[in-house]
Structure 1
């Protein structure tokens, strides 16, 4: 089996490599190709990757290359984890929206739109080259904003599934609180990427006993602290939102915080500098503890599980992924991309049925889906008016004066990545 990681020079990659090495019986990789245009950085990451494989006795071969076509040629699956514009672009995404009193974040709001505009054309170009080399290859997208990018891939006819680590992180957390094995915890996870709620936490599978009331009763305070939301709010909701819902439920509070501290991009840039210094040490043959602060926890386990299932292997039958709605949420178009539990196999991902969504959540999902449709239109076709429409539609913006100003700021800060600007 040949697996290719585009964006293989990311400091995330050793987390992925560690999972590939540990879970080689689930996903037996013969050749792993790391592709990245940053040659020096790629060699540091690639060297550590080879040492991790050697230390854990993995027989697979690791190849590094800056040649995308060579890297994807003959690949059975291609994982996308790229960041167009790097941390510098992320830094801008997290700061200029604050000028209008709007949240600055790289996957939602105005910053999320900027990232979508930079990313969608690049990802579609990569996917087209994958299709020319191997039309049966699966594309697993971990590149944010995952929902919009996955929708772009699917609408262009690619064999693609979107992946996020939020659900697997919650599964692991809830399993520990309940004293259960993670494989025995099934989440009733529903919504859009970075806009989800756990409406049930079931032990033993989709039909298992719902332990959500127990979790909220016995561990609600700890869960609320992790989410940085008030415990009474969780009790009133009766569900557990993802931590990204704080941008909606406590928007002004978040903006005030962001204005008083360094951006997450600045923190990550410093972490990456330190990580790359560690990766250069020829004695290092395992992922360093510092990598846990980089984010992406359990990404490797989720990626192995999904890729194995798509390639007809030993992955779990049910996984949380991003895929076409296909009537799962009846108030959304069939071609909207949602994030839910799905049956995953060699033919792709088929969403499992979900219970009717509370109007409190369904209204927000519908609004953000409309924004994502407009965002994808802007990413594919460009133009100031399309950017304005997407910003005006976003629930975190919504006022025309803000949308006008943010449109100008977005274009000014991203002109080099926008072919139409």
Structure 2
């Protein structure tokens, strides 16, 4: 089979290559093609990928190209992991909302909307190219943030797409390390929207371990969620890192005034990684890549692609249509939930109803996501304003107006309609 990676010149790509080199034998992976307009990056990441495959004695080829048509030709799976505007745009997303007293973050709030406006049209262009050049019924696996919004746009346009995030597998590995067990023995009840999820249950060989984690593993949970163990115990569940932007909003904004933006840190890490990738002796992902983010992404991606390709029917957490899963949401909404992964796509697992605390916030943000897709597809200041007004991290006329102007100003080069 052939897998194409759009955005393959990313400094993040060796994490993905490592997973395919070590774990993809069952796929019969013949070719992994990296596609990116940045030829200078491809010429570093591509050869490193070849060396990584050779180190693991993987029989598949690693190739690279700047041509979308050539890279997508005959692909069975297309993985999209791009960042329109690069780290410069990310730095903007993380900083301009702070001027209004709102959280600055690249996947939620005003910064997340800015990223969606830049990203959705580009991803849909790529998806149309997948229709033209890849194999019939090729799957698109989207890792491009904001994953929920991008996946919804892809599904609305009729593409065979599944959204993927590393939050669930990250929690599973954190819990397994704390409990000193193999991750495969754990089953987690992970529910919500992308970057708006809660772990409501953690089963070890069928035995509930959530109370044990909350009672005896404070340090691990606080580090992973950026929320205090006292707050987690009051919730009785474990919210994702991203819930801090809702539950600790004002404190996060205050802290941002005295800390380096994540984008500035990542930009420095990227420069260091590219220097490392240029070393012809390097044949494994460097330790510094861990600070780039996205832990266990490669393993989640290999698992998902394997199940889509071989019809394993195993349980994985993905972004997919809500259907009838959560009665509070439209069937067309995209949710992040456990599902059985088949060759025909994910089938949602039966889930317990949402608690009111979860349901209210999920409903609120899902409505925003619908408006965000409309703004990304059709443009217009009023659509951007309405999406911001609907977001619980904005939600006021004056802030929504000011942030709309900032989004248009900061992203003029990336918005054809602005």
TM-score using structure 2 length: 0.98
Aligned to 2:155: 154
RMSD of aligned Cα (Å)? 1.0
Q: Select which of 211, 232, 235 maps to 1:237.
A: 235
Aligned to 2:164: 163
8 Å Cα contact 1:26/1:305 also seen in 2? no
For residues 301-336 of structure 1, the C-alpha deviation after alignment (integer angstroms, 9 at most, x for no partner) is: 00000001111265x700000000011011100010
Alpha-carbon distance in structure 2 between the residues aligned to 1:183 and 1:90? 35
Alpha-carbon distance in structure 2 between the residues aligned to 1:222 and 1:263? 24
Q: Note the C-alpha offset of 1:179.
A: 2.1
Aligned to 1:368: 365
Question: What's the secondary structure of 2:359's corresponding residue?
Answer: helix
Alignment of 1:207-356 (within 5 A): 208-312=206-310, 317-356=314-353
Q: Select which of 389, 413, 418 maps to 1:416.
A: 413
In the comparison of the two structures, how many residue pairs are matched?
A: 417
8 Å Cα contact 2:81/2:144 also seen in 1? yes
Question: What's the secondary structure of 1:105's corresponding residue?
Answer: coil
Q: Note the C-alpha offset of 1:211.
A: 1.2
8 Å Cα contact 2:151/2:161 also seen in 1? yes
Alpha-carbon distance in structure 1 between the residues aligned to 2:126 and 2:7? 11
Aligned to 1:56: 56
For structure 2, list consecutive stretches of 5 or more residues without a partner in the other structure: none
Alpha-carbon distance in structure 2 between the residues aligned to 1:239 and 1:52? 39
8 Å Cα contact 1:92/1:413 also seen in 2? yes
Alpha-carbon distance in structure 1 between the residues aligned to 2:17 and 2:220? 32
Q: Select which of 332, 356, 359 maps to 2:356.
A: 359
Alpha-carbon distance in structure 2 between the residues aligned to 1:210 and 1:220? 17
Say if 2:182 is the partner of 1:184. no
Say if 2:203 is the partner of 1:202. yes
For residues 321-373 of structure 1, the C-alpha deviation after alignment (integer angstroms, 9 at most, x for no partner) is: 00000110111000100000001010101111111111011100000000000
Aligned to 1:381: 378
Q: Note the C-alpha offset of 1:220.
A: 3.2
For residues 15-41 of structure 1, the C-alpha deviation after alignment (integer angstroms, 9 at most, x for no partner) is: 111110110224331011000000011
8 Å Cα contact 1:26/1:313 also seen in 2? no
For structure 1, list consecutive stretches of 5 or more residues without a partner in the other structure: none
Aligned to 2:46: 46
Q: Note the C-alpha offset of 1:178.
A: 1.6
8 Å Cα contact 2:178/2:220 also seen in 1? no
Q: Note the C-alpha offset of 1:259.
A: 1.5
Question: What's the secondary structure of 2:8's corresponding residue?
Answer: coil
8 Å Cα contact 2:116/2:376 also seen in 1? yes
8 Å Cα contact 2:96/2:406 also seen in 1? yes
Q: Note the C-alpha offset of 1:221.
A: 4.5
Structure 1 range deviating more: 230-239 or 364-373: 230-239
Alpha-carbon distance in structure 2 between the residues aligned to 1:260 and 1:106? 18
Alpha-carbon distance in structure 2 between the residues aligned to 1:62 and 1:313? 25
Question: What's the secondary structure of 2:310's corresponding residue?
Answer: coil
Alpha-carbon distance in structure 1 between the residues aligned to 2:350 and 2:17? 34
